[in-house]
């Protein structure tokens, strides 16, 4: 039988304090859109109107592969041999930029036995932004592939990444970084987040362009590169965005794989995510024109995928405070109970890494990522004039104690 007392109790939850209820609903809807709604919209758009295939242009005949390293003596020869083992019919060169290396990275790279290796160096560590600027200026071939030292490429990665440029509309292309699954509770929650992130990138690329590339494996047309500003943190977002704003598409090639030997450790992922989020604040400050929809055709994607996520932890605090302060009716009690239960399960997952249930690991991973979001603003305010400190470096490049 329909319970009129419950029904009118829920209605009173809306009517007792209309402004507070309105703010609570808006806050919860904003969180839902940022975390789930935007991805659902992109998935639906990708299904309805995938970007049409353009006529093919010739396959790139040559590529320049860029590795920017700092004290990479222990890995550089193995990394070059991994890249050399990737089949490629055309010409290729390897540019190894030693950014303030204090070991014998340069000598080992030059003596690796891999053909067409050119070693560039600078005596002082300036940062990846400067190494990339100098490396691109030195590159001889029309397609530049950026790689990192720690990861390795699948044997078909070069071929599949270069094939994206058969489409004359494509100015840059991102590969996919695969990371070994974590065994901890919070880490498993982050695993789920990473899988959702890769699916979202696929949808964005099918609609128009992916927002940013995977720094460990992406490629660009050399003539489209714009020099990075000093101390740029997110080169793998800024470079593709600058290309997209020139009218080109940013493709996503999930079959071009790079492998990371490290597992998705929650502590390391939290620090990596922190640097990414701090980089988003830097982009807001340095590229205000990207916030104007009439100047940026990827405005919705940029705001929803990158910038709006910065607000989620603060929206969560506001929602909980509004919920706690609202008149206690069945609706308010239900919302408050759900929030408290989710946060409690998340805290338990972070505190007890051995828990395996998704009821615990998913909220734990979510809370861990939101903690990084909350730290990001203060971190950016603290280190905006010395971004190298995000990697444990002093402004002069020396390792912090």
Q: Please give the structure tokens belonging to residue 73.
A: 């003596």
Structural domains of the chain in order of their starting residue, each with its CATH number: 62-264 (3.90.550.10)
Separation CA 305–CA 288 (nearest Å): 16
The model's pLDDT over 134-183, given as tens digits with 9 standing for 90+, comes to: 999 999 999 999 999 999 999 999 999 999 999 999 999 999 998 766 55
Alpha helices, DSSP H, located in 245-265? none
Chain Cα centroid distance, residue 360: 24
212's torsion region: left (phi>0), alpha (psi -120 to 50) or beta? Answer: left
pLDDT tens sequence across 345-386: 888 877 776 666 777 777 887 888 888 888 888 888 888 777
pLDDT, position 359: 76
Q: pLDDT tens, position by position, for the chain (401 residues)? A: 445 544 444 444 444 567 777 888 899 999 999 999 999 999 999 988 755 555 566 678 899 999 999 999 989 999 999 999 999 888 999 999 999 999 999 999 999 999 999 999 999 998 899 999 999 999 999 999 999 999 999 999 999 999 999 999 999 999 999 876 655 555 555 667 778 888 999 999 999 999 999 999 999 999 999 999 999 999 999 999 999 999 999 999 999 999 987 765 656 666 777 888 999 999 999 999 999 999 999 999 999 999 999 999 999 999 999 888 877 778 878 888 888 888 888 888 777 766 667 777 778 878 888 888 888 888 888 887 777 666 655 433 333 22
Q: Give the Å distances, CA to CA, from 79 to 87, 96, 376, 391.
A: 15, 11, 32, 22
Cα gap 328→380, rounded to integer Å: 39
- pLDDT for position 141: 95
Both structure tokens of 382: 């603290």
């Amino acid at each position: 039988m329909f319970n009129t007392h419950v029904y009118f109790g829920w209605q009173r939850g809306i009517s007792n304090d209309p402004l507070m209820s309105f703010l609570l609903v808006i806050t919860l809807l904003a969180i839902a859109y940022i975390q789930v709604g935007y991805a659902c919209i992109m998935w639906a758009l990708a299904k309805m109107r995938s970007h049409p295939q353009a006529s093919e242009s010739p396959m790139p005949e040559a590529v320049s592969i860029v590795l920017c390293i700092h004290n990479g003596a222990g890995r550089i020869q193995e990394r070059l041999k991994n890249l050399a083992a990737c089949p490629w019919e055309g010409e290729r060169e390897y540019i190894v930029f030693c950014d303030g290396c204090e070991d014998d990275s340069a000598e080992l790279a030059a003596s690796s036995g891999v053909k067409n290796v050119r070693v560039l160096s600078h005596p002082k560590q300036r940062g990846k932004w400067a190494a990339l600027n100098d490396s691109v200026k030195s590159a001889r071939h029309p397609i530049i592939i950026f790689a990192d030292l720690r990861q390795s490429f699948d044997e078909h990665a070069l071929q599949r990444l270069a094939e994206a440029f058969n489409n004359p509309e494509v100015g840059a292309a991102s590969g996919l970084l695969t990371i070994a699954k974590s065994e901890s509770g919070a880490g498993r929650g982050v695993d789920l987040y990473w899988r959702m992130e890769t699916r979202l990138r696929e949808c964005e690329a099918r609609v128009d362009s992916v927002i940013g590339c995977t720094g460990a494996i992406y490629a660009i047309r050399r003539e489209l590169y714009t020099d990075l500003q000093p101390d740029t943190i997110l080169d793998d977002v800024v470079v593709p965005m600058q290309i997209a704003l020139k009218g080109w598409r940013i493709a996503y090639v999930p079959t071009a794989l790079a492998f990371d030997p490290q597992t998705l450790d929650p502590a390391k992922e939290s620090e990596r995510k922190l640097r990414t989020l701090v980089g988003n604040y830097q982009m807001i400050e340095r590229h205000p024109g990207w916030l104007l929809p009439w100047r940026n055709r990827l405005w919705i994607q940029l705001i929803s995928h990158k910038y709006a996520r910065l607000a989620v932890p603060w929206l969560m605090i506001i929602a909980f405070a509004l919920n706690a302060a609202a008149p206690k009716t069945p609706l308010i009690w239900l919302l408050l109970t759900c929030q408290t239960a989710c946060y409690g399960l998340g805290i338990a997952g972070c505190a007890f890494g051995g828990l395996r249930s998704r009821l615990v690991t998913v909220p734990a991973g979510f809370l861990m990522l939101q903690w990084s979001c909350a730290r990001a603003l203060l971190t950016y305010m603290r280190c905006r004039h010395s971004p190298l400190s995000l990697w444990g470096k002093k402004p002069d490049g020396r390792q912090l104690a």
